[in-house]
Structure 1
Amino acid sequence: MDNLWIASLDPADRRRLQPHLQERVFTQGQILYDAGEAVDAVWFPLTGVVSLMTLLPEDRMVETAAIGREGLVGVTCGPMNGRASSRAIAQLEGSAACCSADVFADALSRSESMRMALARFTEGLFAQVQQTAACNARHRLDERLARWLLTLHDRAGSNRFHLTQSDIAGMLGVRRATVSEVGSDLESRGLIKRGRGWVEVLDRDALEQASCGCYELMRGVMKDLRLPRPVPVGH
């Protein structure tokens, strides 16, 4: 499976990167880099989902963006070779093509078209961060949960993904008991099914109806970044 950002590059730009790319596997919950750390590698997800987390006082955090194979992780949280302003954590296990930040910086310095491609992606990602912040501040938890599950479903490559209630609570910045209550409501309406450590999307269309309008706004932005179509329910 290809990374769609790399696939969208001009052939000459791809040739600059490909000799330096090495595939690396990441496990669910793995921290790719933490806030305040120097970012020394760029990750181009092939499968799985990486979440960017904003850290809060008292060891709490909340997700502000999700990145799958439509994008890249490692130069989107701060200046090149600078220190990250957020934590990048694997939300769903997968793999990525990786190169050093120095290699990527050199490739960027040689290509205006690659710099434009990176700018388009970072603008879309910033729009996602802004919309997520507004959503977290203004919308009900059931709407936010539906929106978040749709965001994962777009990138997961499957209708079922491994998630615990603690995982979801951590991403949304709420208590586990609250997630359990709201998740039970979505399940009773036939939108999702839950098991021990997993969630399955049963009715994609109904889940979109249950979400706030933020999902469609985010989806509109990410369509420009060639986000793959969601896997049809039932496959």
Structure 2
Amino acid sequence: MLCAMSAAAVPSPACALGPRVIVPAYFAPHVRPGLWERVCDARLRCVVLNVASGPGTAPDPVFARARDRIAARRGTVAAYVDVSYGRRDAGLVLADLKRYRRWYGVTDVFFDQVPAGVDGLAYMHRVTGKARDAGAGLVVFNHGTYPDPAYLALADVLVTFEGPVTAYPSAEPPAWTLLSDPGRFCHLVYGCRPEDLEVVTALARRRNTGVLYITDRAGANPYDGLPSYFERLVGG
């Protein structure tokens, strides 16, 4: 439940356009093929392809076909790559990027567990530069919190909140985020009841966040399926 929040408490957004949606599709196409069919939607900002906390150890034709179906409908697929807050060997990160390109034809990237402090900038500059050189047109950094503003120069989208809906009301943005294009910021909110969806969406807009993923799923992996209100979320 959203603590001390109601639709009346959230100012009306200045822009009537719905948010763009990033889908962390952390579920296998052969297990939930119907869900993969639903994410074949060009309106989505991107679908994150996560084979096995990365590209896996060998090509998986089921994931390759799922990627091809999304691409055929003009959708965008981004490779899930974990950088472990800058502690993971950069060579392993670059190897993951190469496997995604060779096995799945995916060049765009969703970097997970990205550092937020200035000490991580050099690391992210290196791996992002390699991704760009290899053709990445979309680079997403999942910090899960508000990072140093210098990261905005490296990525196209920064995930500046990831957490349960109960923590969302208190996650006030720093002033610098209110001066940029809202399409540069994304929030991932889980455990959100259907009746709270519009409230959370409006609050995200007030916080100048134009890319979202909101789900009523929770638990250890809230991204192992789609929210019950997926069509409402995508339709804005």
Q: Does TM, scored on the shorter chain, surpass 0.5? A: no
Structure having the larger proportion of residues in helix: 1
Structure having the larger proportion of residues in strand: 1
User: TM-score with structure 1 length normalisation?
Assistant: 0.26
